[in-house]
Amino acid sequence: MIGAIQYGLGQLWRYKKVWAILYVVTLLMAVLVAYPFKSYLEKTLGNSMMISDMLKGFDYTLYIDFVNNYGDLFGTFMNQSFWVILLFLILFIFFNGGMVRLFLDRTEAYDSRLFWSNCAAFFWKFFRNSIYFLIIHGIIFILFLMIYSYLCKGFSISELDSEGIIFAAPKYLAPIYILVSSFFFMWQDYTKISLVRNHYKWVYQGMFDSIRFIRRNLISAWGLYLLNMLLLALIFTINYFITTAFEIQSFQTVVLSFLFAQLFTIARLGMKMVNLSSAAYWYTSKTDSDESTAEY
């Protein structure tokens, strides 16, 4: 498993152009909404001396007065953010096809034609795959919410003996949920890999193939996925310590915080690629060895 992750990290570096594309797309789409927001702030607050309070961080008085007096467009920005996120999801589905092909073919270097053509080729299959798994993730999430609600007696104040269960239950349920849902996220990734590798016409064929693969290699495949999640958690922890380590008090520190935030964004995107490439590596190495065993 460690080898697979090492391999994934190698692939990440090899296909750093894809990494860069992902980052640039992410940044540009965020700027698409954030820049008008900045212009709006400049127009409404630009000359107020309260801006210095903004530098210190969240200022409640400024927030209240802003929302009360200039908050009409606030909802518009939130609305825009929602649509941008949705657009990003569709773009990400698009990029998945190209990424999986690169990771499976293991070309010496980034092959632009191969990447973009496979992005287009697998878009609709991956789109359907995403819809199916969104339903599955939704069901799992609702199931856990129902268990939580059951444990908390429907959050009824008059029925609960103590509110302790409301706080205690997530401590047990959340890790179980992460474990269970990670299985389905892993299944989703292996379905993408299977669809590209086996050129299946129908998404369900990929889903069946990948679940067969997972059944044969449950511990190693799931273990690898969890290991990747652990690495992501490590990145989050480092980011937490960095962001709380210094206070933003000047323009320079604002720039520094921006750079750290971008590093974090790049690292998160990188981890997504590492996760997919290590899974692709695991899938090919295991299925290849199975096939060769079968031949003998």
For another protein, the binding residues in 194-233 under the rule CB under 8 A are none
For another protein, which residue of 5, 7, 19, 26 counts as binding (CB under 8 A)? 26
Q: Which two tokens stand for residue 97?
A: 């096809």
- Contact between 103 and 154 under an 8 Å Cβ cutoff? The reply is no
For another protein, which residue of 211, 248, 284, 286 counts as binding (CB under 8 A)? 248
- Shortest approach of another protein to residue 222 CB, angstroms? 16
| Spatial distance between the Cα atoms of 93 and 128, rounded to a whole number of angstroms | 10
Does the protein bind another protein through residue 145 (CB under 8 A)?
A: no
- In single-letter form, the type of residue at position 260 comes to F
For another protein, which residue of 51, 114, 121, 140 counts as binding (CB under 8 A)? 51
b/e per residue, 173-190, with b = 16+ CB within 10 A? eeeebeeeeebebbbbbb
For another protein, which residue of 24, 31, 109, 120 counts as binding (CB under 8 A)? 31
Number of residues that bind another protein (CB under 8 A): 77
CA angle 279, 281, 284 (to 5 degrees): 105
- Shortest approach of another protein to residue 60 CB, angstroms? 4
Does the protein bind another protein through residue 49 (CB under 8 A)?
A: yes
| Spatial distance between the Cα atoms of 232 and 183, rounded to a whole number of angstroms | 16
Q: Which stretch binds another protein (CB under 8 A): 12-20, 65-73, 204-212, 214-222?
A: 65-73
Closest of 76, 69, 93 to residue 33, by C-alpha = 76
Q: Which stretch binds another protein (CB under 8 A): 9-17, 51-59, 110-118, 284-292?
A: 51-59
Which of 200/260 has CB closer to another protein? 260
| Spatial distance between the Cα atoms of 268 and 67, rounded to a whole number of angstroms | 32
Does the protein bind another protein through residue 73 (CB under 8 A)?
A: no
Which of 130/287 has CB closer to another protein? 130
For another protein, which residue of 11, 96, 191, 277 counts as binding (CB under 8 A)? 96
User: Rounded to a whole number, what is the distance in angstroms from the first to the last CA of the chain?
Assistant: 26
For another protein, which residue of 3, 6, 20, 46 counts as binding (CB under 8 A)? 46
Residues near 203 by Cβ (< 8 Å), separated by ≥ 6? 125, 128, 129, 132, 191, 195
Q: Considering Cα of 9, then 14, then 20, then 22, what sign does the dihedral take?
A: negative
Q: Which stretch binds another protein (CB under 8 A): 6-14, 34-42, 210-218, 219-227?
A: 34-42
- Contact between 290 and 35 under an 8 Å Cβ cutoff? The reply is no
Which of 70/116 has CB closer to another protein? 70
For another protein, which residue of 9, 37, 107, 148 counts as binding (CB under 8 A)? 37
Does the protein bind another protein through residue 163 (CB under 8 A)?
A: yes
